């Protein structure tokens, strides 16, 4: 029962925890109590730290790109290193792992079509500080404790540079990856992808932003410069000694937990930060970098969110929202106009959690930026263009007392031979048949896709007869999902259909659930894009 007690330190937490339990019924019962108790977020003063902005990545020179016939491209070197960082004014520094010295890591600010290369150097310690589960595939006792490999999420990246989960390397080694950046402007993010310990490496702090821009987007005159602010959201358990905690199950041989929800909410690496804003429009580039938490964002004071972009860039038109849902891995590009909130303090909230505060200046300012009514054409892909439809199940494994012991894609563990082999240049429909009680954010590497629709089905009928009997109409993707996506929420007992043009590179990639605890425990599969038949 001690494990439950930490979730009822405040009514707000209790409500959030009850919500979480409803969404993930098997989660809370298994966690064992942490050795050092966790910090109560209500014990911390609010809005005493300014919101930190990501540190820009700086090129170290030029590099001949072998994939581009030796063309000179901008070259960076980013070291993964243990650092300590103040998460809050009144806390001692917290040990974290970082890309380039901060969490989130250094931010790449790039132009579409301008290739770059990065040497990712693993300079981490050789011991991990979070609980490894050696029974998970890829994290066996024989493999080194600290392994890392970098993936650019949302990147149209050749397979050699995509960060295949088994391509990890140990401290003292580095890899140089090439990013062609030939894709539409969007907010991408890079993060660790090491097999079996990915949830722990990202939790430790191994993630950062990579933004791509172009001229067409510049000409929209969206708020820019200091009026464009990235907001990277994540949650953690912080112990009373200021160090990160991560829950373990009651079984010391198998410490994996099915999902993680932290009590401490961070924005750009700070707890309860504030940002001084002018009474005008701002563009916020929002990333859900949490292991398992879904955010449902809203603003106080009646301030409105206008979503202008999703994972893979701009929407056709802004979508006005009173709340914005973001699953792990998803991004939202939003515009907020503070003009009618002069002198106010506007809170960014997620359900009952307060994330941060905007202190709006009192003096009137001029605002030359625009929120255009039309942003970018996103032609819908015709279903008739698909050459193949694949039915893929999302499955949960339960033990005898109905606790989750893992999740699978299409009932197939990671190590089984590849079953999905789309041909480069063709379009497919993937029907994600979610047999579980959880929402799973499903992500495909290398490609971008569109969400066709979602339709509930009779799970009992499916379990007994393997036939799909729908129990409701097909519901179109939400208005703010009508852009290009790379991560889609697959709702429980629902078929979510996505349509995917396999454009880019042939080779071996992965697709997976972006709840990192699921991904690390078999909810990930390789897939291979076959070269287009020649002639
Ligand atoms: Cu954020 Cu495999 O990806
Ligand atoms: Cu990815
Ligand atoms: Cu999942």
The per-residue pLDDT for range 170-222, each reduced to its tens digit, is: 999 999 999 999 999 999 999 999 999 999 999 999 999 999 999 999 999 99
- pLDDT at res. 477: 97
Q: Is residue 3 predicted with pLDDT exceeding 70?
A: no
- The whole-number pLDDT of residue 32 equals 66
Instruction: Note the pLDDT of residue 27.
Output: 43
Number of H helices, E strands in the chain: 6, 33
**pLDDT at position 171:** 98
Encode pLDDT of 215-256 as tens digits. 999 999 999 999 999 999 999 999 999 999 999 999 999 999
Q: Is the pLDDT of residue 4 over 70?
A: no
Residue 7 has pLDDT above 70, yes or no: no
Tens digit of pLDDT for each residue in 151-164? 999 999 999 999 99
Q: What are phi and psi of 444, to 5 degrees?
A: -110, 135
20 has a pLDDT exceeding 80: no
The reported pLDDT for the residue numbered 8 is 28
Q: What percent of the chain has a predicted confidence (pLDDT) above 70? A: 93
The H-or-E segment that residue 3 falls in is: helix 2-5
Atom in ligand 1 nearest the alpha carbon of residue 445: 2
Range list of H helices, 411-498: 459-465
Which ligand has an atom closest to residue 432 CA? 3
The rounded distance, in Å, linking the Cα atoms of 188 and 486 is 10
Give 26's pLDDT tier (boundaries 50, 70, 90).
Answer: very low
The closest ligand to the CA of 434 turns out to be: 3
- If you count them, how many residues does the chain have? 535
String of DSSP letters for 17-72:
HHHHHHHSTTSGGGBPPPSSPBPPGGGSPSS-EEPP-PPBP---EEEEEGGGTTEE
Q: Which of 512, 516, 482 is nearest to 499 (CA)?
A: 482
- 358: three-class secondary structure by DSSP: strand
pLDDT per position as a tens digit, 383-418: 999 999 999 999 998 887 777 788 999 999 999 999
Which atom number of ligand 1 is nearest to the Cα of residue 519?
2
- pLDDT of 12 over the 70 cut: no
The reported pLDDT for the residue numbered 112 is 98
**Residue 286, helix vs strand vs coil:** strand
Find the range with the poorest average confidence among 27-36, 383-392, 457-466: 27-36
Q: What is the pLDDT of residue 398?
A: 82
Nearest CA to ligand 1 atom 1: 153
Please identify, by atom number, the ligand 1 atom nearest to the C-alpha of residue 487. 1
Q: Which of 33-37, 122-126, 232-236 has the lowest mean pLDDT?
A: 33-37
233, 287 Cβ separation under 8 angstroms: yes
The H or E element that residue 347 is part of is strand 345-350
Task: Tell me how far apart the terminal alpha carbons of the chain are, to the nearest angstrom.
Answer: 66
User: Where would I find the beta strands (DSSP E) of 363-491?
Assistant: 386-398, 404-409, 427-434, 440-444, 450-456, 475-476, 487-490
| Average pLDDT, integer, range 485-500 | 98
CA atoms of 208 and 386, how far apart (whole Å): 34
Q: How far is the CA of 207 from the centre of ligand 3 (A)?
A: 20
Q: What angle do CA 484, 486, 492 make, to 5 degrees?
A: 110
Q: What is the pLDDT of residues 331-364, one digit of tens each?
A: 999 999 999 999 999 999 999 999 999 999 999 9
128: left (phi over 0), alpha (psi -120 to 50) or beta: beta
Rounded to an integer, what distance in angstroms lies between the CA atom of residue 103 and that of residue 321?
Answer: 29
pLDDT per residue over 418-432, tens digit each? 999 999 999 999 999
Contact indicator for 503, 466 with CB cutoff of 8 Å: no
CB 501 within 8 A of CB 485: no
User: CA 196, CA 236: separation in Å to the nearest integer?
Assistant: 20
DSSP class of residue 304? P
pLDDT greater than 80 at residue 518: yes
Residue 397: the pLDDT is: 86
- Rounded to the nearest 5 degrees, what angle is found at the Cα of 188, between the Cα atoms of 372 and 433? 95
If you average pLDDT over residues 520-530, what whole number do you get? Answer: 97
Q: What percent of the chain has pLDDT over 90?
A: 88
For residue 264, the model assigns a pLDDT of 97
Q: Which residues line ligand 1 (CB under 6 A)?
A: 151, 153, 191, 193, 329, 443, 445, 510, 512, 514
Strand 440-444 with 507-513, pairing: antiparallel
Rg of the chain, C-alpha, whole Å: 22
Tell how far the Cα of 515 is from the centroid of ligand 3, in angstroms. Answer: 5
41 alpha carbon to ligand 3 midpoint, in Å?
Answer: 27
Q: Which helix (H) or strand (E) holds 511?
A: strand 507-513
HEC-encoded secondary structure of 94-163: EEEEEECCECCCCEEEEECCCCEEEEEEECCCCCCCCCCCCCCCCCCCCCCCCCECEEEECCCCCHHHCC
Distance, in Å, from the CA atom of 272 to the CA atom of 172, rounded to the nearest integer, reads 36
**CA dihedral over 201, 202, 205, 211, signed as positive or negative:** positive
Top-confidence residue, 48 or 19: 48
Query: What spacing in Å lies between the alpha carbon of 49 and ligand 2's midpoint?
Result: 32
**Residue 534: is its pLDDT beyond 80?**
no
- pLDDT at 11 (0 to 100): 35
Is the peptide bond preceding residue 95 cis, with omega within 30 degrees of 0? no
The ligand minimizing its distance to the Cα of 331 is 1
126 vs 97: CA distance, rounded Å: 12
Residue 16 has pLDDT above 70, yes or no: no
């Amino acid at each position: 029962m001690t494990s439950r007690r930490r979730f009822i330190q405040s009514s707000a937490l209790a409500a959030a925890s009850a919500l979480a339990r409803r969404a993930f019924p098997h989660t809370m019962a298994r966690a064992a109590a942490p050795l050092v108790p966790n910090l109560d977020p209500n014990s911390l003063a609010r809005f005493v730290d300014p919101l930190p902005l990501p540190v820009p990545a700086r090129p170290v020179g030029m590099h001949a790109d072998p994939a581009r016939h030796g063309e000179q491209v901008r070259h960076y070197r980013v070291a993964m290193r243990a650092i300590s960082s103040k998460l809050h004014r009144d806390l001692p520094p917290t040990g974290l792992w970082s890309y380039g010295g901060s969490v989130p890591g250094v931010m790449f600010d790039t132009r579409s079509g301008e290739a770059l290369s990065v040497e990712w150097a693993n300079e981490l310690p050789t011991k991990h500080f979070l609980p490894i589960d050696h029974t998970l595939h890829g994290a066996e006792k024989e493999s080194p404790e600290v392994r890392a490999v970098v993936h650019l999420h949302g990147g149209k990246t050749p397979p050699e540079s995509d960060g295949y989960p088994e391509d990890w390397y140990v401290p003292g080694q580095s890899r140089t990856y090439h990013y062609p950046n030939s894709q539409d402007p969007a907010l991408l993010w890079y993060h660790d992808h090491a097999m079996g310990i990915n949830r722990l490496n990202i939790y430790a702090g191994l993630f950062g932003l990579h933004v791509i821009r172009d001229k067409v987007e510049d000409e929209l005159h969206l708020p820019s410069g200091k009026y464009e602010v990235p907001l990277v959201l994540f949650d953690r358990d912080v112990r009373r000694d200021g160090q990160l905690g991560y829950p373990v199950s009651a079984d010391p041989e198998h410490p994996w937990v099915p999902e993680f929800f932290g009590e401490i909410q961070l924005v750009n690496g700070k707890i309860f930060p504030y940002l001084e804003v002018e009474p005008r429009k701002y563009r916020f580039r929002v990333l859900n970098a949490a292991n398992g938490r879904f955010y449902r964002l809203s603003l106080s004071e009646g301030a409105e969110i206008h979503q202008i972009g999703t994972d893979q860039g701009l929407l056709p038109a802004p979508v006005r929202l009173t709340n914005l849902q973001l699953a792990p891995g998803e991004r939202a590009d939003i515009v907020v106009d503070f003009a009618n909130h002069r002198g106010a303090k506007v809170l960014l909230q997620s359900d009952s959690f307060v994330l941060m505060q905007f202190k709006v200046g009192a003096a009137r300012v001029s605002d030359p930026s625009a929120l255009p009514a039309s942003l970018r054409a996103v032609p819908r892909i015709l279903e008739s263009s698909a050459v193949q439809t694949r039915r893929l199940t999302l499955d949960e494994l339960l033990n005898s007392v109905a606790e989750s012991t893992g999740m699978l894609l299409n009932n197939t563990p990671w190590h089984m031979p590849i079953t999905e082999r789309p041909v480069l240049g063709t379009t497919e429909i993937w029907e994600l048949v979610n047999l579980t009680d959880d929402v799973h954010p499903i992500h495909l590497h290398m490609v971008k896709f569109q969400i066709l629709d979602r339709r509930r089905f009779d799970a009992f009928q499916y379990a007994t007869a393997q036939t799909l009997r729908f129990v409701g109409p097909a519901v179109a993707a939400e208005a703010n999902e009508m852009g290009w996506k790379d991560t889609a929420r697959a709702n429980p007992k629902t078929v979510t259909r996505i349509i995917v043009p396999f454009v880019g590179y042939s080779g071996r990639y992965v697709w997976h659930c972006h709840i990192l605890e699921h991904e690390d425990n078999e909810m990930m599969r390789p897939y291979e894009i076959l070269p287009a038949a020649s002639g």
